[in-house]
Amino acid sequence: MAEANAIAKGKKENKSNSQLMGVWIRLKKNRLAIFGLVILILLILMAIFADILAPYGYDEQNLQNTFQTPNLEHPFGTDEFGRDILSRIIYGSRISLQVGIIAVGIAVIIGGFLGAVAGYFSGKVDNIIMRCMDVLLSIPQMLLAISIVAALGNSLANLMIAVGVSSIPQYARIVRASVISIKNQEFVESAKATGSNDLRIIFKHVIPNCLAPVIVQATLGIGLAILTAAGLSFIGLGIKPPTPEWGAMLSGGRMYIRDYPHLTLFPGIAIVVTIFAFNVLGDGLRDALDPKLKQ
């Protein structure tokens, strides 16, 4: 009896994750994607344990030790105020990941909902929502983000809102396209025939079935959002000093790039590595979630 229970339990655990398991097995085959995933996990751990990992505080100035090139005491050197660049990069990962994830979160939730409503109801509702999205799309994303930050003032929250809002249309378009293909399937009609109302159908049946492309786009989008945020900080519209933000660090080091290139090199590498990791993971996920590649 105990044995049977154990088998049943094992089977249950296996079953409830069977789809996720399939995706994971396929993702595992893609080495580059796993490499990206490992980097991301390290980055996230770095952000969480920044207080323990960082050898110095992010705003700890030492005016006698400015512009040190990388050495044993300061592996990445120090900046114009003698602050340890390694520590600032470690603390900066918090800001960057936060901006990336929350901004994309905003965009996915709002864009996804608008897209789902537009795709599901079609007709007039679709037209109104998608034309508004077209208006947003017609403005270059960076320019839109700049104007939003300029209007709201610079702070971390506003930066996230700016980056998030400016990428809403992308998600709306993706979700709308998949909703249109899913809403005509028989199980949606069957849900109607059991008396579900429209909102319930959207949330219970339609959206869960079109998550795959959204997950892919969101993974790629986080990289882009971090880049946009860094860009905004670079032109001085991001986060106020002394908060360590990779883009702001780049911008701060720009003036000394000839004499002390390490001031810009290391934050630059941090940005590149992070975005690279998100991109390869996103690509890998896209392949893993594509049902046509199932074997």
Partner 1 sequence: MGNLLEIKNLSIEYVTDERTNKAVNNLNLKIREGETLGFVGETGAGKTTTALGIMRLVPSPPGRIVSGEIIFEGENLLEKTEKEMREIRGNKISMIFQDPMTSLNPIMTVGEQIEEVIKLHEDLPKDELRKRAEAMLETVGIRKERFDDYPHEFSGGMKQRVVIAMGLACNPKLIIADEPTTALDVTIQAQVLELMKELKVKFNTSMLLITHDLGVVAETCDYVAIMYAGSVLEYGNVERIYNNPLHPYTVGLFNSIPSLDEDKDKLDVIPGTPPDPANLPTGCKFHPRCSKCMEICKQKMPEPIEVEEGHYVSCFLYDKDVKEGR
Site of interaction with partner 1 (CB under 8 A): 8, 12, 15-16, 18-19, 185-187, 189-197, 200, 204-205, 208-209
Q: Shortest distance, CB of residue 179 to partner 1, whole angstroms?
A: 14
Q: Shortest distance, CB of residue 185 to partner 1, whole angstroms?
A: 6
Nearer CB in complex with partner 1: 162/179: 179
Q: Shortest distance, CB of residue 13 to partner 1, whole angstroms?
A: 10
Q: Shortest distance, CB of residue 151 to partner 1, whole angstroms?
A: 41
Rounded distance between C-alpha atoms, residue 244 and residue 64, angstroms:
21
Nearer CB in complex with partner 1: 134/198: 198
Nearer CB in complex with partner 1: 138/184: 184
Nearer CB in complex with partner 1: 110/191: 191
Q: Shortest distance, CB of residue 161 to partner 1, whole angstroms?
A: 32
In the numeric block, which tokens belong to residue 44? Answer: 């996230």
Q: Shortest distance, CB of residue 211 to partner 1, whole angstroms?
A: 9
* Core vs surface per residue 146-164: b (16+ CB within 10 A) or e: bebbeeeebebebbbbbbb
Q: Shortest distance, CB of residue 221 to partner 1, whole angstroms?
A: 23
| Alpha helix segments (H runs only) across the chain | 2-16, 18-29, 31-48, 50-53, 85-121, 123-138, 141-152, 156-166, 168-183, 186-193, 198-200, 207-209, 211-234, 246-253, 262-289
Rounded distance between C-alpha atoms, residue 36 and residue 284, angstroms:
9
Nearer CB in complex with partner 1: 49/187: 187
158 with 149: CB under 8 angstroms?
yes
CA proximity to 126, closest of 199, 191, 193, 175: 175
Rounded distance between C-alpha atoms, residue 273 and residue 164, angstroms:
22
∠105-107-112 over CA atoms, to 5°? Answer: 100
Nearer CB in complex with partner 1: 200/254: 200
How many C-beta neighbours within 10 Å does residue 229 have? 31
Nearer CB in complex with partner 1: 12/31: 12
